[in-house]
Chain A
Amino acid sequence: MSPLSPKPKDRVLPLFGFPFWTLVRREIMRFMIVVVQTVVTPLVTAGLYLVIFVGGLGDRLQDVQAGVSYMQYLVPGLAMMGAMQHAFNNSASTILISKFQNNLVDLLVSPLTDLEIALAYSAASVTRGALVGILTWAVTLPFGGPIPAHPFLALFILCMSCLGFSLLGVTAGVFATKFDDVARISTFIILPFTYLGAVFIPVSRYPDWIEPAAFWNPLLYCIDGLRLAFLGKSEVSLIASLSVILGSVLLTALLSRFAWKHSTSIRT
């Protein structure tokens, strides 16, 4: 037989097998190639927030939560904020760039199912988001950052929140036709909801007219859920936090499935 002879295939590959993990590895490699932009930059941003808020306003915000310093209060919020934003941006920008560079076709002609492709993109985005979150927390340790009271719960909440945002990023990337479309979601939806999700101050310190609406913000349950895992207390209960996070994951998963199935920018 010639080395050029083809090899017909008659066996279906297992779902979430080697092709799936190949795509996950490729996507992780993709953001690690530009690690300064994808991981280091958010650490610098978080560092600046810490300097300004803890250094500048820390004295006036010492009593935001009983028994914890403002530094300890702020770190879980900053970690989750960076993690969510980067999980979203990773999926959305990777898919959009692949569409621009015409190399999405490599995946579409492969035996991967649409579910595997969406979840592989999400897995890589969760990795990036979680990396940003964990490093944001880790660099604060020498400066009095908190030690998590429930580390596994913290990791679970961090990863599940990132999963929800990465799936949302998949949907955005599928429907977006230009970077402006992704930036709009990031700037006009994610950023305001994040800032109003108790990253910097508790909901109880918000103006009276915002406070009731703040509890309808799902990002509050991600941010305060992580704070609960770190500090052992927060403004939302663990049950409420987990319910909202897991419900959001389900909702964003359905959205991304709809996007892959119906967007004509993927399969015509």
Chain B
Amino acid sequence: MTPAIQVTGLGKKYGQVHALRGISFEVAQGEFFGLLGPNGAGKSTTLNILAGLTRPSSGIARVMGYDVVGEFRLSRRNLGVVPQEVSTDRLMSIRKTLQVQAGLFGVRKASAWIEELLHRLYLWEHRDKLGHELSGGMKRRLLVAKALVHKPPVVILDEPTAGVDVELRREFWGFIREIHAAGTTILLTTHYLDEAEDGCERIGILGQGRILALEKTSDLLKRHSDRELRLRFDRPLPQIPVSLREFAAELLEGGHVLALRTKGKEDREAFWRRLADLGIAPVDVEVKRPDLEDVFLELTRGRGEQQGRELPV
């Protein structure tokens, strides 16, 4: 089956600055894919190239098999974009805005679908309000409705919940999960890593215009098997035992808690052996598995440290 999104050797230069350094990835039809990375990693550049807002310097990007440069009239008909920045037409009502947006994508009879969208995005009661009368949350929901008004098979969400309150975020993700379940491919960028972890089946992490990781979310989390341990003792430890210092251990709460980090299974086994040799036993053990944020920081921080050495494209 044709991939929903296919990016091959995509590069973008702004003067001497490389925003993208020949990245490649694919997103299958019906997949929920997350593209993460720190500011300036190249996420928005990638999305903008797919949407037609930015011209690539090299490489190819396709949406539903259509080249975003050579066949843009088809690639754009198959794509809906929820942009990062909120914008509305100040003098047009919500309903008129959606009718016009449908027309721009060649949809003549959109009334029923527009009505459905307005209901599902809780905009029905505000349908006749003008752009300048809308609250921030309504504008955000309108952006989603505009992106979906032509029923595109692929939807790009560029940090869609930035600055959005908890209630609206929950409603928003509920609706996005519904359209995903109905077959829409989702490409998400976000700084809320818990959202990516919850929703995305696969994740690509960008840094310095390169792909640092590209795998299933569960594999990505498994691969990084660090654990944070917090051991509580009923009698405080006077100091960190010498044999445990290599685990980056520190004493907290007046010596009652020993916090440390182990890297992998063997490391953990070694730790437990040494603790047993010391003859001290904790009354409580708390283990924290890595979440996407830890993985993200590990990958991107590592990349940042190598920054000085990394120049070739």
Contact = CB atoms under 8 A, between A and B. Distances in A.
Contact of A8 (B64, B87, B91, B182): B64
A103 interface: yes
Contacts, number: 106
Contact of B104 (A6, A9, A112): A112
Nearest to A4: B182
A187 interface: no
B151 A6 contact: yes
B76 A267 contact: no
A111 B66 CA distance: 12
A138 B139 CA distance: 43
Interface stretch (B77-85, B254-262, B269-277): B77-85
Nearest to A30: B91
B91 A102 contact: no
B91 A5 contact: no
Interface string B65-101: 0000000111011110101011111111000000011
Contacts of A19: 103-106
A14 to B, nearest CB: 9
A151 to B, nearest CB: 33
Interface in B146-170: 146, 151-154
B74 A6 contact: no
Contact of B74 (A10, A23, A105): A10
Classify chain A: how many residues form its interface, as a range: 35 or more
Interface string A206-218: 0000000000000
B46 interface: no
A111 B89 contact: no
Contact of A111 (B88, B105, B184): B105
A267 B74 CA distance: 18
B183 interface: yes
A6 B100 contact: no
B52 A267 contact: yes
Nearest to A108: B53
Nearest to A21: B103
Interface in A1-38: 2-10, 12-13, 17-19, 21-23, 25-26, 29-30, 33-34
A111 B83 CA distance: 17
B108 A109 contact: no
Nearest to B113: A3
A113 B104 CA distance: 11
B48 interface: yes
A23 B103 CA distance: 8
A12 B52 contact: no
- Among A4, A29, A106, A113, the most chain B Cβ lie within 10 Å of the Cβ of A4
B249 to A, nearest CB: 49
B95 to A, nearest CB: 13
A48 B6 CA distance: 62
Nearest to B155: A6
Interface residues of B, number: 45
B81 A8 contact: no
B229 interface: no
Interface string B22-39: 000000000000000000
B76 A109 contact: yes
Contacts of A113: 73
Interface string B182-200: 1110000000000000000
B53 A105 contact: yes
B5 interface: no
B91 A267 contact: no
A190 to B, nearest CB: 26
Contact of A3 (B52, B72, B116): B116
A93 to B, nearest CB: 13
A100 to B, nearest CB: 10
Interface in B171-221: 178-179, 181-184
A26 B100 contact: yes
Contacts of B54: 267-268
Contacts of B178: 4
B224 interface: no
A130 B60 CA distance: 45
Contact of A6 (B76, B89, B116, B184): B184
Contacts of A3: 113, 116
Given A6-B151, A6-B153, A103-B88, A111 B106 contact: yes
B292 interface: no
- Among B78, B103, B179, the most chain A Cβ lie within 10 Å of the Cβ of B103
10 contacts: A8-B78, A19-B104, A26-B103, A105-B83, A106-B87, A109-B81, A111-B72, A267-B53, A267-B55, A268-B54
Given A2-B183, A10-B74, A105-B83, 17 more contacts: A4-B178, A4-B179, A4-B181, A5-B151, A6-B183, A22-B104, A23-B104, A30-B91, A102-B87, A103-B88, A105-B53, A106-B146, A109-B51, A110-B105, A111-B76, A111-B77, A268-B55
